[in-house]
Structure 1
Amino acid sequence: MSAWAQDAMEWAVAEGILTGKDGSALDPQGTASRAEVATMLMRFTQEQNG
């Protein structure tokens, strides 16, 4: 993972926006499916609207 992304990834995991592939392993250099992106956006908007 690039050093500049470390804080953002840690935040997203801590907030439950990212849970990782198969529930644990992060793949920051990988690709995300349309369903994975939709899930992340849904979790992010729920986080923002508390």
Structure 2
Amino acid sequence: MQSSSRSAAIFGILIALGLGALGVLLKQAIVEYKLLDRSVTVKGLAENE
């Protein structure tokens, strides 16, 4: 019985670490996506011609 609970605890810790790593990677991906989404619109003389 003790071996089963130890295995479950290790499995739970690994799942928690995996979800934490997934969260960090998703955050980085969102930040990089937002940086690539920036654009500048310039209106000036070229538009008047």
TM-score bracket, shorter-length normalisation:
0.3 to 0.5
* Greater Rg over alpha carbons, structure: 2
* Structure with the higher helix share, 1 or 2: 2
TM (norm. structure 1) is 0.36
Does 1 or 2 have the higher relative contact order (CA < 8 Å, sep 6+)? 1
TM (norm. structure 2) is 0.37
